[in-house]
Chains A and B, each alone.
Chain A
Amino acid sequence: MTQHLTQQDVRAIAEYVRIGLNAEEVESMTADLNAIIDSLKPITEYDLEGVEPTFHPIGDLRNVMREDEFRGSFAQATALENAPRSQDDCFLIPSILGEGGDR
């Protein structure tokens, strides 16, 4: 099997996608991802010279506009119903600056 990704690479990806993995999980994820990427090899072996890509199955999509008029949407209370934590009609998160620390 080709080593497409090292454990160091996998740790970097995990950090980027914000999924915390422990050392053991990094190890098994590295093996899984390398096996899966290996299985994708056929896509690299095609002669695709001059072939246009199709990014979407409905090729002739056009932007759809409507009149710019007011329409009802979620009330603030509805939008907050599923929030794990909220305060003063806002989503509540830990500090993003400095030392952190919840109020």
Chain B
Amino acid sequence: MTSAANAAQLAPFGQMSVKQIQHGLRTKEFSAVDVARATLARIPEADEQVHAFLETTEQLALDAAARIDDAVAEGRMNEMGPLVGVPIAFKDNMNLTGTRTTCSSKMLENYVSPYTATCVERTLRAGGIPIGKLNMDEFAFGSSTETSAFGPTRNPWDLGRVPGGSSGGSAAAVAAGLVPITLGSDTGGSIRQPASFCGVVGIKPTYGVVSRYGVVAFGSSLDQVGPFARSVEDAAITMNAIAGRDELDCTSQEVTVDFTANLAEDVAGMRIGIVPAFMEAEGLTPEVKAKVEEAAAKLEARGAQLVEVELPNAKAAMSAYYVLGPCEAFSNLARFDSVRYGYCDPGHKDLGAQYEASRAIGFGDEARRRIMLGSYLLSAGVYDTYYYPAQQVRTLITQDYLRAYEKVDCILTPVSPRTAFEFGEIADPTSMYLSDMFTISINIAGNGGMSMPVGLGADTGLPVGVQLIAPAFHDSNMLRVAAALEVEYGVAPVAPASASGKAGE
């Protein structure tokens, strides 16, 4: 019978798959309240070193779990949605009523959400159990989660290394087996790069697949929300829950595809693109290159056809991104005015001085840099030198992809040129930007990309991800290829140091 004591004998729920949890609920091996309690109970200790969570949401979790248990008791479990009973946590730029939504910034340290983001709302409506909010680079500006105002998240595979970023907490929480599913957001690689560093599946869907309503904006023409999971199926189930038109985000599109539908189809007959220039890129480490080649060979052995494609303008993506991103961030971060919400420095006699002090204290270094850079790039005379050409380059990059997709169904590339780096190893901002060299062009063009774990690098012994890129609104293509890679490499493991813990310990 159901009992918390029984549940404590099981593997931690955060280390289970969606289907395992739902099977246990259906067979009454445990209750949803057991799942919520045990998942929450494990976090203080299991997350002490990793520091993925900024806040846990006990009451919301227990309330959601109680509703699920009622539904199970009444025989309505099948009506509860695809994530019924699954613990889920959210990047801290996603509003959830009653929680702090800090963006890991001192600016929003005390901001309590008065509403809920659509992506969050949809996971809860699908039966998810909200466990908490996750650490990130401040306002998503970064690739290491080191710029969080509340301290960095550590990589569960090696606590001396970064988890990547900006969705570092979202990746680390899944890699450490704290929860099976998290949501992150990706503006230039912020889902895919940390997924690669932490050895989990991370999906940046095509721009417009998931509503951005209620997600604190960084680059409004680049931002997209997506899931982290340890299996392709769990990620696809989450996509089913969050995708589709939302009248509160006019850029969100009608999406009717079932993302789990083609996972068992394998890759025979698929055409998979390889980009020779990416494979020879300066800075790509031999161990990552070897893993991409290995993955390509495995896909070919399963019947896929490898086709060389060129993305000649992708090399311009980096500079286009570091023009467009800061310009959009400058505009979006103007709203933090110390009057309606956010940090307000006390004691000023005039409003101008209050603005300047509040924004100077509220924003960290990288946020300040991007705001000021964006302001400069949009100023008269400078606009024509950088911003306008960056939007023209965007046309060229989009055309590159369209041309490539005449020949292939999916493209295979590295995610990050290297595995996770050590804290402090990359201090200079322009070098940090290079960790997004393979991911950025996808945000510029707007199509979908994901990171798929393919085991450990031969030199560092750390997780390596390969990037799968799909044509716009054909995200299911990359999920199909990912599922085939998962057959070869197995479902992503929980990081070894985190894998031993039992529920409730």
- B contact residues around A87 at 8 Å (CB): none
- B contact residues around A2 at 8 Å (CB): none
| Chain A facing B: main interface SS | loop
Establish whether residues A43 and B247, one from each chain, have CB atoms under 8 Å apart when the complex forms: no
Q: A14-B372, A19-B368, A57-B446 are in contact. Are A43 and B390 (CB under 8 A)?
A: yes
Shortest CB–CB separation between residue B223 and chain A, in angstroms?
11
Once bound together, how far apart are the Cα atoms of A98 and B449, in whole Å?
54
Once bound together, how far apart are the Cα atoms of A61 and B250, in whole Å?
8
Establish whether residues A82 and B341, one from each chain, have CB atoms under 8 Å apart when the complex forms: yes
A70 close to B (CB within 8 Å): no
Number of interface residues of B (CB under 8 A): 69
Interfacial residues of chain A within 50-71, with CB under 8 A of chain B in the complex: 51-58, 61, 63-64, 66
Q: A18-B356, A40-B323, A82-B114 are in contact. Are A66 and B247 (CB under 8 A)?
A: yes
Shortest CB–CB separation between residue B437 and chain A, in angstroms?
12
Once bound together, how far apart are the Cα atoms of A20 and B360, in whole Å?
5
Shortest CB–CB separation between residue A87 and chain B, in angstroms?
12
- A contact residues around B344 at 8 Å (CB): 84-85
- B contact residues around A81 at 8 Å (CB): 112, 114
Establish whether residues B319 and A82, one from each chain, have CB atoms under 8 Å apart when the complex forms: no
- B contact residues around A74 at 8 Å (CB): 114-115
| Chain B facing A: main interface SS | helix
Once bound together, how far apart are the Cα atoms of A33 and B371, in whole Å?
11
Interface 9-mer from B37-45, B160-168, B225-233, B393-401: B393-401
Once bound together, how far apart are the Cα atoms of A47 and B354, in whole Å?
45
Establish whether residues A94 and B350, one from each chain, have CB atoms under 8 Å apart when the complex forms: yes
B421 close to A (CB within 8 Å): no
Establish whether residues A54 and B372, one from each chain, have CB atoms under 8 Å apart when the complex forms: no
Shortest CB–CB separation between residue A60 and chain B, in angstroms?
11
Q: How large is the interface on A (under 10, 10 to 19, 20 to 34, 35 or more residues)?
A: 35 or more
Listed residue (B115, B363, B376, B429) with the most chain A CB atoms within 10 angstroms of its CB: B376
Establish whether residues A53 and B319, one from each chain, have CB atoms under 8 Å apart when the complex forms: no
Establish whether residues A39 and B357, one from each chain, have CB atoms under 8 Å apart when the complex forms: no
Establish whether residues B350 and A32, one from each chain, have CB atoms under 8 Å apart when the complex forms: no
Once bound together, how far apart are the Cα atoms of A2 and B222, in whole Å?
29
* Closest partner residue, chain B, to A77 (CB atom): B114
Once bound together, how far apart are the Cα atoms of A18 and B336, in whole Å?
10
- Checking A5, A18, A21 against B352 with a beta-carbon cut-off of 8 angstroms, the contacting residue is A18
Establish whether residues B394 and A53, one from each chain, have CB atoms under 8 Å apart when the complex forms: yes
- A contact residues around B428 at 8 Å (CB): 35
* Closest partner residue, chain A, to B343 (CB atom): A84
Interfacial residues of chain B within 318-337, with CB under 8 A of chain A in the complex: 318-320, 322-323, 330, 334
Interface 9-mer from B16-24, B61-69, B381-389, B494-502: B381-389
Once bound together, how far apart are the Cα atoms of A44 and B377, in whole Å?
12
Once bound together, how far apart are the Cα atoms of A11 and B239, in whole Å?
46
Which 10 pairs show the lowest CB-CB distances between chains A and B? A57-B446, A84-B344, A20-B356, A53-B391, A82-B341, A100-B349, A100-B350, A20-B360, A18-B355, A43-B319
Q: What are 7 residue pairs bridging A and B, where the CB atoms are less than 8 Å apart in the complex?
A: A17-B359, A17-B375, A18-B352, A18-B356, A51-B392, A91-B340, A95-B350
- Chain B contacts to A: CB under 8 angstroms: 110-112, 114-115, 207-208, 221-222, 247, 250-251, 253, 315-316, 318-320, 322-323, 330, 334, 338-344, 348-357, 359-360, 363, 368-369, 371-373, 375-376, 385-386, 388-396, 398, 428-430, 433, 444-446, 472
